[in-house]
Amino acid sequence: MRWTKRKQMLESLLCDSLQGRIQINRVVYRQSHDQPSRLTITFDKNEIFATDDISYEREAYRLGNHMERSEEMPSLDERYRFMMDELSETESLIYQQRMEEANDKVEETLHQRGLYADHTIYDFFNYNQFSIEEAMNHRSEVIRAYAMLDRRLGMRKLQNMNLHQEHPLVQKFYAIRKTAENLS
């Protein structure tokens, strides 16, 4: 499906008070090697959320180097031995587990800092396929945050929500919705 159609569908799910005030924009750098992209969500022309492949990869690389120095991530020597098939089966499984844990930790840390890559929010592009309950309980904070702006989220439920334990992004979108609906 083309981006313009997805954008239309995503924006059509916004509550009436946010129609035209929330905009979703995406840029794909097609001439670049891996076609990195940037997605932004703006509220009254102010950016409230963004994904940026280039910034994300740069910070992931820096954080990975830091983790390698602090021995939270396998060393370059271990990675080389893994790639050259010089590890035993047990060592290989341990290596893979350590790399997965390190990569998960990097991704979680970057998300806490508000940095996202396009590939980490693929579910967002299919947001219209979720019921409002599925969206509000989704594992991705981006989906849960966008659900706060969804017209299917009723006023009564919106007023009775307690989001003190929720991700800051969800709280931010919740505050925008409450302000737009004059519920503050």
Tell whether 32 is covered by a domain.
no
Distance, CA of 118 to CA of 96 (rounded, Å): 24
Tell whether 61 is covered by a domain.
yes
Tell whether 78 is covered by a domain.
yes
List the end-to-end C-alpha distance of the chain, in Å, as a whole number: 38
Q: 61 pLDDT exceeds 80?
A: yes
Tell whether 93 is covered by a domain.
yes
What is the pLDDT, as a whole number, of residue 90? 80
What is the pLDDT, as a whole number, of residue 31? 65
Percent of the chain surpassing pLDDT 90: 43
Query: pLDDT digit string (tens) for 68-101?
Result: 777 666 666 666 666 667 767 787 777 778 778 8
Tell whether 14 is covered by a domain.
no
Tell whether 68 is covered by a domain.
yes
Looking at the structure of the chain, the number of domains it has is 1
What is the pLDDT, as a whole number, of residue 1? 73
Across residues 165-169, what is the average pLDDT?
92
Distance, CA of 180 to CA of 184 (rounded, Å): 9
Tell whether 84 is covered by a domain.
yes
Please name the amino acid found at residue 30: R
pLDDT grade, residue 33 (50/70/90)? low
Query: pLDDT digit string (tens) for 95-148?
Result: 778 778 888 888 888 888 888 888 778 888 899 999 999 999 999 999 999 999
Q: Which residue range forms the structural domain that includes residue 97?
A: 54-112
Question: Cα dihedral sign for 106, 47, 166, 3?
Answer: negative
Tell whether 60 is covered by a domain.
yes
Top-confidence residue, 36 or 104: 104
What is the pLDDT, as a whole number, of residue 127? 93
